Amino acid sequence: MELQNCPDKKEFELICIIVDFGLGSKAIKIAKKNGVSGGTVLLGKGTIKNRFLEFLELNDTSKEIVLLIADKTTAYQALTILNKELAFHKPNHGIAFTISVADLPGNRSYQYQDNKGKKSEGNTMYQAIFTIVDRGNAEDVIEAANKGGARGGTIINARGSGIHETHTLFSMAIEPEKELVVIISKKDQIDSIVASIREHIHIDAPGKGIIFILDVNKTYGLF
């Protein structure tokens, strides 16, 4: 159902913040103080492209992924404060980016809006690559992406169910374990990274996984 003749239609943004383990709650607390209604924290693992850290086996770090949704004005204002308090402008202090949200039905905090036809006016110099693969293959995705020019990524554990995933145990259906790999990169490197993932992971073969790309509006903490 769409609301007609609504003069104050708002655009919404999904804020994604990736920080070291333990900082997710702090990020949500700061965001709530600045107008965001709340958020969700996911656990993940970050990979850093650094030969010295790889030699010491310290290139994998526990991460928290914070997901927040707010109207565009509130989101950008909150991000400015988050950037200041969490120091995203300093190396290894985390990253943050936003993605446009088409609609937000089912949330009492916001009135449903019809945003069809609206285009984001944010910074689209970066894009986000999302790759979903079977558990245990995420590291291969990161390695393939790095060969294509990426500088690491974040791995999130998940579960999946699809037409190529019909595992059973004692006649009970099992949802196979999945891993979601999130990589942020400049637009001019996306094709090379995706091509490398497709070549090394055979992502186009049935049951091997899926990959999709979204425009990123604002970014913090990328060097």
Looking at the domain covering 126-215, what would its CATH class be?
A: alpha beta
Buried b (16+ CB within 10 A) or exposed e, 88-102: beeeeebbbbbbbbe
Question: What long-range pairs does 114-117 form, CB within 8 A, spacing at least 24?
Answer: 114/2, 114/3, 114/6, 114/9, 115/9, 115/11, 115/12
Please write the tens of the pLDDT for every residue from 86-134.
Answer: 999 888 899 999 999 876 665 555 554 444 444 444 457 899 999 999 8
Q: 164 versus 38: which is more confidently predicted? A: 38
| Residues 180-204 pLDDT 10s | 999 999 999 999 999 999 999 998 8
- Where are the domains positioned within the chain? 126-215
Give the per-residue pLDDT at 61: 78
Q: What is the pLDDT of residue 7?
A: 45
Q: Where residue 48 falls among pLDDT bands split at 50, 70, 90?
A: low
Average pLDDT, the chain: 80
Q: What is the pLDDT of residues 88-101, one digit of tens each?
A: 988 889 999 999 98
CA–CA distance, 70 with 206 (Å, rounded to integer): 37
DSSP 83: H
pLDDT of the residue at 219: 92
pLDDT of residue 185: 93
Quote the pLDDT of residue 58.
Answer: 42
Q: Which of 3-7, 48-52, 70-74, 161-165 has the lowest mean pLDDT?
A: 3-7
The CA R_g of the chain, rounded to the nearest whole Å, is: 19
Is the pLDDT reported for residue 222 higher than 80?
yes
Mean pLDDT of 2-9: 47
Report pLDDT for 3: 40
User: Tokens 């994998």 — which residue?
Assistant: 60
Q: Is the pLDDT of residue 65 over 70?
A: yes
The region of weakest confidence among 52-61, 124-133, 154-163, 207-216 is 52-61
Q: Is 174's pLDDT higher than 80?
A: no
DSSP 218: -
